[in-house]
Structure 1
Amino acid sequence: MNRSLLFKFLAIGCLMLLLLIPLVMIGNSIDERREYSEQVVRDIARSSAYSQTLVGPVLVVPYSKKERYWTLNEAKEKVFHERVIEDNLYFLPDRFRLSGDMTTESRQLGIYTARLYHADNSIDGYFTLPLNYGIKTNLADYTFNSPFVAVGISDIRGIKNSLQLQLNQQTYDFEPGSQLKILGDGVHARLSPTVFSDIHSQAQSVPFSFKLMLQGTEQFNIAPLGKETHVELHSDWPHPRFLGDFLPAERSIDNTGFTARWQTSYFSTNFAEYFTACIRTTQCDQYQQRQFGVSLVEPVNLYVKSDRAIKYALLFIALTFASFFLFEVLKRLQVHPVQYGLVGLALAFFYLLLLALSEHIAFVAAYAISSFACVVLIGFYVSYVLQSFIRGAGFSLGLGFLYLLLYGLLSAEDYALLMGALLLFVVLGAFMLLTRKVDWYSLGASSKAASATVKEH
């Protein structure tokens, strides 16, 4: 290869490496702005309510039990002991049903927005209590205390109504605190000591219901405690993302919102075993992970799209420089490395413009304005570099087409790799086709001869 051509390749390579500096700086700016927007969302949630997780209700029956046992003293004599231990019996719902209507609102701090929801939930179901609470031996040693119903709510600041529990045709007021460490924050309703007075003569089916108006930020999760769990949510938010271990059995999404219905059973969740293991061994990983819910995501996350866009920046610059180089080869033009560098900087500034504009207007509009500005600027400059407005217009059209392809890559997330691979293959094929008759050995010599002719004149 001719020495001058080799130097040109090296100069272009060094320019691309130098252009990584502003690209890295812009990428850092994207990360900083994204972190700041997430911090703003957390600040808004801190002053209202965080994402909500609903666990329960759980029926808890405290009891005291007398235990008698013998030990040997130092004289090897048997000594009789009696002690009282206190514990709880836990009963999960045989059926849990929730019907919720979610409305959303935007809370803004500066240029950043957080998505809040208000969920108006109707909850009902029933507990099945076995005879004598399931105690089959030494029943006389047990003393049962006042039972209570506990509901875990991850952020009780989001409760917007006066909670009342209807259970077994009686009404009870909920009080703050779940009274169960396993449930975390929440509420509980202390029941009448005689509410299950017939439990020693027969098993009981105990219906319950209550209404829960709950406010939260971005996510609403539910733990499927029931032997049968039925959840139905309606919302005016048209861009849901369903979370957790169980997807909706049915869902409908349109421009007016979504409707989703979940249905689980003990056989699919194994929740009773995980709940018991968490109580007895404090191994609560599986219990805490067995949830499902919905996240009210933004349809266009401008920081994610900007970050994805800048990942293609080096490819963009390489394709533009390759186009310049083609003009040098095919039209016998001389393009100075400084001119390469100025065009590369203009391409880099596109991403900064995109980030700045998309924080104030829609991402599509920000992309259109940024790409149009860069195409016009580079096209005007290139018209003089290539010594022809027609060539500059053609170069601008090609650059505009590349921006359209980039937007397609950003929009088609599932097909981004396929589209990118096809684009590179087509560009390589076009480059090979256009340069198939180029004599690379004589290219540098021709350039030197042209330069010598210019000097003579």
Structure 2
Amino acid sequence: MTSDTETPSSETLQDRPPPTRPFSFLNSPAVKFVLIGFVTVMLMIPSTFVWVLVEERADRAREVSRDIASSWGGTQEINGPYLVVPFTETYDAGLGDKRETVIDRRTVVLFPQKLEVSGNVSVEERKKSIYSLPVYHGSLNLSGRFSAPPDGMFEPRHGGTIDIPAGKAVLVIGIGDVRALRSEVTLGLDGNETVSFEPGLGPLSMTPTPGVHQTATPSGINAQVAPLQWRKGFSFDIPLQLNGSTAIHVAPAGQTTKVAMTSNWPHPGFTGAFLPESRKISAQGFEAVWTIPYLARGIPKVLETNQVPLQDKLLGVKFVEPVNFYQTISRSMKYAIGFISLSFLAVFVLEMRTGWRFHWIQYGLVGLALIIFYVMLLAFAEHFGYGPAYLIAAGAATLLNAAYIGSSLRSRTAGLVMTVVLASIFGVLYALMREQDFALLIGSVIAFVALAVTMYVTRSIDWTGRGERHPSAAMEHG
């Protein structure tokens, strides 16, 4: 026996026509559109808290990186070698009873006629807790030649007497973090004599280089050079074994300088005053060669100073992490309002097309799910990396919102449409984060396309909500 009333199956609940609604001011599409805009603006409050969370985690990561660098070695800066010769000028100053003898202490710095720096930098990632930092061990060799000092190098300024103390000339190398030297450093002279280096920069001083993060006050090493050698010129050979992290910089100390560097790190970031004239980058690492001639350096062959020269003319390479996800997520937060607005536009259009009501609180819930996407992205990226984290967070947010919107609008089609829309939005956001140079271009095109689609699909909507027919629709059915 069949009952007169049957329970509708789940299939009949899908895509069924919406109930008719009496006109009210709050039901009008125009008011709903304004309410959606208000909800979008209010969602900027939790998104700001998420941005603060991202910055807090980034600060924590930098703090752990500094801890690792302080134990292993910071950003290294190899500046030298320079031949430093201190001397004095003695002269009389003043008149009458106030006449006195003055000793003026001066320092001359000579640059190598030729300098070749070659080395291999072996990079690995050191982890502490969930954070990691690229650290390296560098095997470098500095070789070249100092020519005999030019005539007239020790000229008196005040007409006094010049005195060059015997045994005070030293060869100086500035190093960003001396604590990270892994072996004793020796100076090979003319291929037949070896001199050990001592700590310190002798009569020179070295200031931190702007923009270069260092975990210790820059210092250096020095080795004594006999007068008979530096007066007639000499060749040198200096092997260096040192640790460091993040980056390595070299100064073009020679009148002509050649730097050849190899590494197993496949993501180099070449930086400094000079870029390599040739480079080769592969999945196994990179090779780079710099050649800096005398004129390009812009400094004379002899300089009178008490500072290590060329601290503002370094060249080098940063060992860049493939994705700095803290910076990437922080940048993506700038697109949050557009990201949420596009999602709400899609829901609004579906609401107008299906006729089912979607309350403004439901819009807020959809927006909160999109905000939580950023939190999930941050949390998973710290453990699994940016790519897998983005896939997990975006997939979860897409499925949750598509299912919720489809069930709320009583339409499987609406759910499928939102799945496509959200997947497209997440794909565009990912492309924006990966292509920084084209972010503005991509964003402007997407905004224009989104507006054009919205204008097209809402062209027949009665924004007053009174049920009046659009003139074009009336003509079609007239």
Where does residue 142 of structure 2 map in the other structure?
123
Change (3 A) 1:428 1:166: same
Where does residue 24 of structure 1 map in the other structure?
48
CA contact 1:182–1:278 (8 Å) conserved in 2: no
Query: Is 2:81 the counterpart of 1:57?
Result: yes
Change (3 A) 1:212 1:32: same
Query: Is 2:365 the counterpart of 1:342?
Result: yes
Where does residue 356 of structure 1 map in the other structure?
379
Shift of 1:278: 5.2
Change (3 A) 1:61 1:8: same
For CA contacts below 8 A with separation 6 or more, give which structure has more relative contact order. Answer: 2
> Structure 1: which amino acid aligns with 2:65?
V
Query: Is 2:122 the counterpart of 1:103?
Result: yes
Give ranges in structure 1 of 5+ residues lacking alignment. 448-457
Distance 2:179 2:461 in 1: 73
Change (3 A) 1:63 1:332: same
CA contact 1:219–1:293 (8 Å) conserved in 2: yes
Query: Is 2:336 the counterpart of 1:308?
Result: no
- The one-character-per-residue Cα deviations of 1:79-135 (angstroms, maximum 9, x if unpaired) are 7x6554443332111111100100012111100001111110011011112366734
Distance 2:351 2:443 in 1: 26
Where does residue 33 of structure 2 map in the other structure?
9
Distance 1:272 1:241 in 2: 30
Single out whichever of 10-19 and 290-299 deviates more from structure 2: 10-19
Single out whichever of 141-150 and 207-216 deviates more from structure 2: 141-150
CA contact 2:83–2:170 (8 Å) conserved in 1: yes
- The one-character-per-residue Cα deviations of 1:422-441 (angstroms, maximum 9, x if unpaired) are 11111111111112233334
What TM-score does the superposition give when structure 2 sets the normalisation length? 0.84
Distance 1:87 1:13 in 2: 71
Where does residue 175 of structure 2 map in the other structure?
153
Where does residue 186 of structure 2 map in the other structure?
164
CA contact 2:122–2:138 (8 Å) conserved in 1: yes
Where does residue 271 of structure 1 map in the other structure?
299
Query: Is 2:428 the counterpart of 1:409?
Result: no
- The one-character-per-residue Cα deviations of 1:123-148 (angstroms, maximum 9, x if unpaired) are 10111123667347899853432121
Please show how residues 7-406 of structure 1 align to structure 2 within 5 Å.
Answer: 7-68=31-92, 71-73=95-97, 82=101, 84-130=103-149, 134-135=153-154, 141-146=162-167, 147-168=169-190, 169-183=192-206, 185-196=219-230, 199=231, 204-272=232-300, 276=303, 279=306, 287-406=310-429
Where does residue 13 of structure 2 map in the other structure?
none
Distance 2:339 2:460 in 1: 26
Distance 2:291 2:440 in 1: 36
> Structure 1: which amino acid aligns with 2:324?
N
Shift of 1:271: 3.2
Distance 1:415 1:300 in 2: 17
Distance 2:431 2:276 in 1: 30
Distance 2:443 2:150 in 1: 67
CA contact 1:63–1:145 (8 Å) conserved in 2: no
Shift of 1:175: 0.8
Distance 2:155 2:55 in 1: 62
Distance 1:131 1:44 in 2: 46
Single out whichever of 375-384 and 346-355 deviates more from structure 2: 375-384
Distance 2:349 2:395 in 1: 24
Change (3 A) 1:341 1:66: closer
Matched-pair identity in %: 32
* Secondary structure in structure 2 of the residue aligned to 1:307: helix
Distance 1:70 1:333 in 2: 100
* Secondary structure in structure 1 of the residue aligned to 2:467: helix
Shift of 1:304: 1.4
Q: What is the aligned counterpart of 2:467 among 429, 435, 446? A: 446
Give ranges in structure 2 of 5+ residues lacking alignment. 1-23, 207-217, 469-478
> Structure 2: which amino acid aligns with 1:404?
G
* Secondary structure in structure 1 of the residue aligned to 2:406: helix
Single out whichever of 240-249 and 287-296 deviates more from structure 2: 287-296
Distance 1:104 1:291 in 2: 21
* Secondary structure in structure 1 of the residue aligned to 2:443: helix
Distance 1:142 1:67 in 2: 11
Change (3 A) 1:131 1:385: closer
Change (3 A) 1:333 1:190: same
> Structure 1: which amino acid aligns with 2:111?
L
Distance 2:406 2:154 in 1: 91
Distance 1:350 1:255 in 2: 32
Shift of 1:258: 0.6
Change (3 A) 1:70 1:418: closer
CA contact 2:253–2:310 (8 Å) conserved in 1: no
Distance 1:123 1:320 in 2: 59
Distance 1:390 1:26 in 2: 33
Distance 2:152 2:120 in 1: 36
> Structure 2: which amino acid aligns with 1:154?
G
* Secondary structure in structure 1 of the residue aligned to 2:233: strand
CA contact 2:108–2:305 (8 Å) conserved in 1: no
> Structure 1: which amino acid aligns with 2:60?
Y
CA contact 1:246–1:292 (8 Å) conserved in 2: yes
Distance 2:437 2:317 in 1: 22
Change (3 A) 1:21 1:136: closer
Change (3 A) 1:439 1:57: same
- The one-character-per-residue Cα deviations of 1:34-80 (angstroms, maximum 9, x if unpaired) are 11101111111112211011111111223344435673238xxxx7x
Where does residue 451 of structure 1 map in the other structure?
none
